[in-house]
A = this chain, B = another copy of it.
Amino acid sequence: MTNSRRGRSASAEDVAKLAGVSRASVSRVFSDQGNVARETREKILQAANELGYQVNFLAQGLNRKRSQLIGVVVARLSDPFRSSLLEGLLSEIQRKGYQALVTEVRDANELEMTIRRFTQFRVSGVVVTSGQPPADLVKECVQHNIPVVGINRHMDIPYVDFVCSDNKMAASLVAEQFIRCGCKSIGWLNYKESTWSGINRGKVFYQVMVEKGACDESDLLQITAEMDGYEGGRQAAHRFCEQGKIVDGVFCANAQLACGFLDGMRENGFDAPADFHIIGFDNTPQTAQYSYRLTTIHQDVLETAKRVLSRLEARGQDPHIVQSIEEIPVKLVIRNTSPNFEPTMIRAK
């Protein structure tokens, strides 16, 4: 009875009473704003410790009109790259002292509900790793002064920033590798209804190939998967072989497709690097494994996450800065499916 509200958690007021000060001082100590005499601070900390006091973030956020929450929109976590991206984001979000609010969305409608709910929690920022942020929704965020940043996509929405792996650099690295290895007929494998980044990667790759004079339109073979993921790649390979087509080098929009395509080709008696070269995107752990040892473009997830957070904070301070689009450098990881040959023809055939 004496101990304020039995069982309930202690409030700043309880602490203030015990320490014999005002709640304002308690607040000052725990949000370390404004100055507090060392002596009173210690009294407060001790009292707080005694009562097991902890700031109520709900009340804090209500008052500040901003919680320390950051909303993260994800999709298809079963893709290893996406889950490693989430991992990087979580780690960076926590390091900066925020808390991640994670929602998985399946369609545009869910994205809309989600962003709306994020604003209801007065999040400090929204990270979109999937789907196109609907323009009007974003407007709402801007109105509420909530920064939005998209990863691996890019649209012309004012006040929304983007950070994106450097697809052009990726294309160049791959093109050079293929050329160095003497590949002549090059293919580009992508899912029929790919994401923005998938499509963009293909477009840029084609441009680069033409620029380098490595191919004209007829040379770049578009291989289209009817399905996404590993199975999609595998079936694409089967259809490819049925049609009696042939390639020297295949570049794939993502790691899953690449592994699937490689396995599909193997089922048809073709293997890399003996019969063709194949290079993937994402560098997921699986691609490093013995059964694949895939040469692949590596995306720097941690750097991406860092940039995202710093964008979020920048726009949090000044909502009206100009849109920023950052490209994160990528690396080519050479493994078995397109090894570092001297510039000679690889196929005896």
Known interface pairs A94-B104, A99-B117, A99-B121; A259-B289 also in contact (CB < 8 Å): yes
Q: Render A38-49 as a binary contact track against B, CB cut-off 8 A, 1 for contact.
A: 000000000000
A101 near B104 with CB under 8 A, answer no
Q: Mark A277-298, 1 if CB is under 8 A from B, else 0.
A: 0000000011001111000000
Whether, in the assembled complex, A119 has its beta carbon less than 8 Å from a beta carbon of chain B, the answer is yes
Within 8 A of B (CB), among A27-54: 52, 54
A residues contacting the other copy or chain, number (CB 8 A): 54
User: CB < 8 Å: which of B9, B57, B77 contacts A87?
Assistant: B77
Tell me which residues from 74 to 110 in chain A have a Cβ below 8 Å from any Cβ of chain B.
Answer: 77-78, 80, 83-84, 86-87, 90-91, 94, 99-104
A143–B116 Cα distance when bound, in Å, is 32
Q: How far is the CA of A104 from the CA of B83 in the complex (A)?
A: 12
A58 within 8 A of B: yes
Instruction: Say which one of A59-67, A181-189, A310-318, A333-341 lies at the interface with B.
Output: A59-67
Chain B residues with CB under 8 Å of A117's CB are 57, 99
Known: A62-B58, A91-B104. A78 touches B67 (CB 8 A): no
**CA separation between A9 and B57, bound complex, in Å?**
20
Report chain B residues within 8 Å CB of A229. 285
Check if A322 is an interface residue, CB within 8 A of chain B.
no
By a CB distance below 8 angstroms, the chain B residues around A103 are 90, 94, 99-100
**B285 contacts A263, CB within 8 Å?**
no
The one of B78, B84, B90, B101 that contacts A99, using a Cβ cutoff of 8 Å: B101
How far, in whole Å, are A285 and B234 apart by their CA atoms in the complex?
14
Which of A69, A102, A264 has most chain B Cβ within 10 Å? A102
In the docked arrangement, what's the CA distance between A72 and B52, Å?
Answer: 23
Among A111-138, those with CB < 8 Å from B are: 116-117, 119-122
Known contacts A99-B117, A100-B103; 8 additional CB pairs below 8 A are: A52-B140, A56-B62, A57-B120, A58-B61, A69-B101, A259-B289, A267-B290, A286-B286
Q: Can you offer 9 A-B residue contacts whose CB atoms are under 8 A?
A: A9-B144, A56-B122, A77-B83, A77-B86, A78-B83, A78-B285, A83-B86, A100-B103, A101-B101
